Chain A
């Protein structure tokens, strides 16, 4: 087959994937119900988050346990600039890039003091940073009311594109697009953009510098990489993705409150990255889709599953759901320690028997 033929096939493949992605919300909505379209919407947000964290953890090897803070920054920025809280109503197209920028600045703010730290020390400091942001969001309602404290900010303006709000059903060519569908397309578009940027970054000079730092920081430094700037860039880029996802979250939910940005969320995003396959973009996407969908699938499946297995409901579905979720995390890691879909290079490294009985290699 000639190069032209191969290219044609590649285009055809992409076209098919594109059509499938475009039809997905309708198929899912008809087949399983609209709650699944909402799950898909959230899953796409998680794809953005996981890819953002993947830059920090997967590419640069910096363990970040407070990543959700950037999501929070993006969400609150959107909420403050597009809600009756301050009476400011900026359009989404202005806030989302601003959110990315501000989140990126927070990324540098976090990165700067902790550059010297390694491994688990970095983990606990980033964790602390995430908690500090959340605590401030939760308490900055006095003496000056900035974030409205634990009450959260409600009645946030929905995202609008070219004067069309996404919060109302839209009829085009006789097809009714529900708000859920419209958000799906917006999130899909931005997720694709994030994926594209991730792929380009991975192959770039900076991407290789990150991997070099991950593998051996001292050697990277010796090769003339400015490790400080490159690390800061990793924090900033990762945070940017989080900031955009946060803004979208606020516009989608039309309500933000600090309880959405707890430590458990950070850990979930980290699980997505590691479970999928750290540093490997398709793996991370798989991981985030899986972990976003699995708890919901268990929510729907817990009762029928028990009835099929034991003939009656032994455990409350919500208990079983979390139990199975925990078991799934353990099981997957035991059978695929490098993640479900690891990078080929990583796989080779792992295949080589390690002389160390303990896994003390540090990122």
Chain B
């Protein structure tokens, strides 16, 4: 191996510390220095995190990593004991550059490094091929942000996500556009990424079902800065609402260019545009646009506001987008370990499907596929440079631990509409 000296130290330390743990356990219990209590066994649990940390989505990738890091640092501060051993969590942050090939290479590296679990990846394109490797290695994977329905439809026992998938979100968004906003003529733009196209297509289905007419279907890319041409075309079709499937980096400038072209029609986004960054990028052109975000507004969740402040204090930046979800994902994993009384993947994997965890985004329970159950989705409107929550659709209405029983049971009885739609699609 590469750092013999370092390893020797660890080996010596683990010899001192090892008493209860079996040596051949899959996550080798690498001991931390037994400073204060040599009698109590100490275990290091490695949690992998994968997201693009370089390239155009690097800011989102780092945000995800920060969320998971915060969860792990908090867990370490609590000095958790699992299965009678003092547990120290270690985050293995990896960069997959949003490239499927690197996604699998990194997944293999985490498997080699005996990661006990993986938070990630960020993109569906890397999550799907990597999920197969984790499944074969029996390592649980919780993605905070991969929204392609295919991810959990592959039948892997190890694949989970804490975010509503494209189908769930597109459906809610489409219904909201036609019913609550009363849009009759809708223009749709997407960025031709798996995420943007996925959510835009689902939106289109739901909007058409709601009685709207799609007057224009335009496209851009996730690297574009100039939207004047497609917006001009949209202008000539006179829609009463424009849906954009894509990220804030395009949604922001798009709002500005919309204003410059004298188009007063408002836009509606899914989670990709639902960020504070959108307001920064759109400036005063952000007013009046809509967006949706899975889960319940952070402010309304117990611990949500605290999370926001802790995050800002720890990393000196604002939350970009998915940090609360990766924070929840890491906590869900730690929670399952605690309930199972074991950090071994095979053992706590059994506890993961039974998760009922009050996260900062929602109360998280999983359906049989590993998708978040009764995914609440909240709609927001941009007002005074901020996203103001309008209403929360579906899901457990009252956050706060004690409740959440009935809606969950409801959603459990009837397989989510998304699942039905998926079967119909295939």
Contact = CB atoms under 8 A, between A and B. Distances in A.
A269 B2 CA distance: 29
Nearest to A169: B136
Contacts of A154: 128-129, 150, 154
A322 B100 contact: no
Contact of A150 (B95, B105, B194): B194
Interface in B120-142: 124-125, 128-129, 132, 136
B194 A39 contact: no
Contact of B54 (A42, A141, A255, A322): A322
Nearest to A249: B101
A253 interface: yes
Contacts of B112: 33-35
B198 interface: yes
Interface residues of A, number: 38
Nearest to A296: B105
B53 interface: yes
Contact of A42 (B105, B125, B148, B193): B105
A257 B126 CA distance: 10
Contacts of A97: none
Contact of B192 (A35, A138, A255): A138
Contacts of B124: 151
A155 interface: yes
Nearest to B137: A34
Given A38-B105, A42-B105, A150 B150 contact: no
Contact of B194 (A42, A152, A296): A152
B104 A33 contact: no
Contacts of B332: none
B2 to A, nearest CB: 7
Contacts of B98: 259
Interface string A139-163: 1010000000111101100000000
A319 B2 contact: no
B421 to A, nearest CB: 15
A152 B128 contact: yes
A260 interface: yes
B99 interface: yes
A17 to B, nearest CB: 26
A318 B128 CA distance: 22
Determine the main DSSP class of B at the interface with A. helix
Contacts of A253: 100-101, 104, 129
B320 to A, nearest CB: 16
B377 to A, nearest CB: 21
Interface string A243-279: 0000001000111110110000000000000000000
B95 A33 contact: no
Contacts of A84: 426
Interface string B269-293: 0000000000000000000000000
A304 interface: yes
A322 B53 CA distance: 11
A154 B101 CA distance: 14
Given A35-B105, A254-B132, A151 B197 contact: yes
Nearest to A323: B54
Interface in B86-131: 94-95, 98-101, 104-106, 108-109, 111-113, 124-125, 128-129
Contacts of A151: 124, 148, 150, 194, 197-198
Given A35-B111, A150-B192, A318-B95, A255 B101 contact: no
Contacts of B194: 150-152, 257
B105 A39 contact: yes
Nearest to A39: B105
B101 A42 contact: yes
Given A151-B148, A259-B100, A34 B111 contact: yes
Contacts of A255: 100, 128-129, 132
A184 to B, nearest CB: 13
Nearest to B109: A35
A171 interface: no
A138 B98 CA distance: 16
Interface string B1-30: 111000000000000000000000000000
B129 A319 contact: no
Interface in B186-206: 192-194, 196-198
Given A42-B105, A260-B99, A139 B192 contact: yes
Name the residue among A31, A141, A152, A318 with the largest chain B CB count within 10 angstroms.
A318
B84 to A, nearest CB: 30
A89 interface: no
A260 B109 CA distance: 20
Contacts of A257: 100, 125, 194
A304 B193 contact: no
A325 to B, nearest CB: 10
Nearest to A262: B99
A300 B100 CA distance: 19
A361 interface: no
Contacts of B94: 299
Contact of B129 (A138, A179, A254): A254
Contacts of A179: 136
A42 B128 CA distance: 18
12 contacts: A35-B108, A139-B219, A151-B194, A152-B100, A154-B128, A155-B154, A180-B108, A253-B101, A296-B105, A304-B2, A318-B95, A319-B54
